[in-house]
Amino acid sequence: MPAWRPLELKSGDYRLPCELWGPERPGEVALVLCHGSTLKGMRHELIRHLARALSAKRPVLAFDLPGFGRAPGLVIRGVDDYLFHEHALAAAELAHELTGLRVVLVGHSMGGRVSLQAASAGQAKGLVAGIITLAGLYELPSDPAEMSALLADFASFVRVRFEMPPEEIARRVADLNPTGRAVESLKIPLLAIEAGREQYKFIRETRYKLFRAAKCPKTLVLLGQADHKFKGFYGRLADLIEWWLGFEFGR
Tens digit of each residue's pLDDT (9 = 90 or more) over 26-55: 779 999 999 999 999 999 999 999 999 999
CA distance 82 to 58: 31
In the chain, what are the domains? 3-244 (3.40.50.1820)
Q: What percent of the chain has pLDDT over 90?
A: 92
CA distance 126 to 202: 32
Q: For the segment 182-241, what is each residue's pLDDT rounded down to a tens digit?
A: 999 999 999 999 999 999 999 999 999 999 999 999 999 999 999 999 999 999 999 999
Is the pLDDT score of 251 beyond 70? no
Neighbours of 215 (CB within 10 A): 12
131 touches 186 (CB < 8 A): yes
- For residue 11, pLDDT beyond 90: yes
What is the value of pTM for the model shown?
0.95
Scanning 33-157, the segments in alpha helix (DSSP H) are 45-54, 79-83, 85-99, 110-122, 144-155
Q: How far apart are CA 12 and CA 148, in angstroms?
A: 26
